[in-house]
Amino acid sequence: MPTTMSDPYQGLQAGSFAMSAQERIVHGVPAGAAVLAEAERLGAQRVFLISGRTLGALTDGPLQRVAAALGARHAGTFAAVRAHSPREDVVAAAAAARACGADLLVGIGGGSAIDAAKAVQLCLWHGLTSAESMEPYRTGAAAESARAIAPPPDAIRMLAVSTTLSASEFTAMAGITDSATQAKQMFAHRLMVPRVAVLDPAATLDTPEGLLFSTAIRSVDHAVETWCSPLATPATEALSLQGLRLLARALPAIQAAPQALAPRLDAQFGMWQAIAALAAGVQTGASHGIGYALGAGFNVPHGHTSCVLLPAVLQWNAAANAARQQALSQAMGAPDRPAHELVRGLIAGLGQPVSLRAVGLREDQLGDLAQRALAYPPVQANPRPIRGVEDVREILALAW
């Protein structure tokens, strides 16, 4: 009697785990000494620093300490990157790096400065000199004009020194804003990731508490949404939960002892673990997707978008993944409480905004925000399917 041959792979979880071109993470040492050692290891003689205006205005902050440590290897500094990394700032930084013959870049600051430095690499690789010239290289560019990012054999690369907890230094994609459309756009190539990420807890001491905590909630968002993603696997799940555990423990400890370095390093380890699944290819969900629209379209900082949206997205998603969310509650030390309540409590306890009203949004802007959000792929990857504007409006109502 004939037998039916079945596919032995049927029912298995298929996928991939992407490995970035990041070589190492240096942690628990002064940033200046670490950057100098890496420049020497790589043979770099003309190191160019990229940062934002706040760090540039300090007299003895992390930017100035790295420049001093580099000594004669310091070729120049561009310290004028604005929030959300506008294309214009990227092009201006690239022009300055090109003019001084840079052979290594160092992004110093939060996500905006580090993302800008990633995109500066693209401009130097392809000789881009205007905001418009970046268009063909973005993810999702029109098919008739799109071009692949193709680094030359001697491609200039970058290091990163983080002063916040947003974790941009661990990914190979840069979120850059097109000022003409106020849309956040992605540029990605495996060589765009910093060759080395430096985690110096002292580099976060000059960061205002509000900024440090809001970017930390961005990392909580990474952990939560990669854990909840349908693409999560046993290889990524432990990373997401460990990141959440470390952050949930470290942030109140930083609040209690602001000058102590140990909890700050714990938080840096937490942001690293929290984003590892995302760097490996696990998608985020609606908190990130709506957050991109909220940040680029309404000028709300990265961290605050997660503060106001993550609890609402968790609450809305619970109809589809409440059992999955229970592990998040366990990681935060209260398995009997809903994850959205615990996350909202953590955010509020750190003095961060927990509503769209608190970040300056008006009720008559919610429709525009909902429409803009649908254009972002993470919204479509949400674990509870989002089928249109009305679903986004339900989430915004919870966040209002």
Tens digits of residue pLDDT in 355-400: 999 999 999 999 999 999 999 999 999 999 999 999 999 999 999 9
For the chain, which domains are there? 24-203 (3.40.50.1970), 208-399 (1.20.1090.10)
Cα separation values, 134 from 137, 154, 287, Å: 6, 20, 27
Structure tokens at 88: 């214009």
User: d(Cα 73, Cα 45) in Å, to the nearest integer?
Assistant: 5
Tell me the whole-structure pTM to 2 decimals: 0.93
Answer for the pair 379, 392: CB distance below 8 angstroms, yes or no: yes
Where would I find the beta strands (DSSP E) of the chain?
A: 24-27, 47-52, 74-81, 104-109, 158-162, 173-178, 183-188, 196-199
Tell me the residue length of the chain.
Answer: 400
347-351 CB contacts, 8 Å cutoff, 24+ apart: 347/217, 347/307, 347/310, 347/311, 349/252, 349/255, 350/213, 350/216, 350/217, 350/251, 350/252, 350/255, 351/209, 351/210, 351/213
Residue 185: φ, ψ to 5°: -120, 155
pLDDT of residue 85: 95
CA count, 13 A, side-chain hemisphere, 222: 33
Across the chain, how many H-helices and E-strands are there? 14, 8
User: d(Cα 201, Cα 80) in Å, to the nearest integer?
Assistant: 23
* Amino acid found at 135: E
Where residue 399 falls (left for φ over 0; alpha for ψ -120 to 50; beta otherwise) is alpha
pLDDT of residue 130: 98
Closest CA to 399 of 368, 356, 359, 352: 356
Closest CA to 322 of 344, 337, 309: 337
Cα separation values, 171 from 85, 188, 250, Å: 16, 9, 23
Residue 337 per-residue DSSP state? S
pLDDT of residue 182: 86
pLDDT of residue 280: 93
Closest CA to 280 of 17, 43, 4, 2: 17
pLDDT of residue 202: 98
What distance, in Å, lies between the first and last C-alpha atoms of the chain? 65
Beta carbons within 10 angstroms of residue 93's beta carbon: 29
Answer for the pair 323, 339: CB distance below 8 angstroms, yes or no: no
Residue ranges of the chain whose pLDDT lies below 50: none
Residue 338 per-residue DSSP state? -
pLDDT of residue 140: 92
Answer for the pair 186, 140: CB distance below 8 angstroms, yes or no: yes
Cα separation values, 281 from 17, 260, 327, Å: 6, 34, 21
pLDDT of residue 2: 54
Answer for the pair 281, 16: CB distance below 8 angstroms, yes or no: yes
**Who contacts 7 (Cβ-Cβ below 8 Å, separation ≥6)?**
none
Core vs surface per residue 121-144: b (16+ CB within 10 A) or e:
bbbbbbebeebeebbbbbeeeeee
pLDDT for 105-146, tens place per residue?
999 999 999 999 999 999 999 999 999 999 999 999 999 999
pLDDT of residue 366: 97
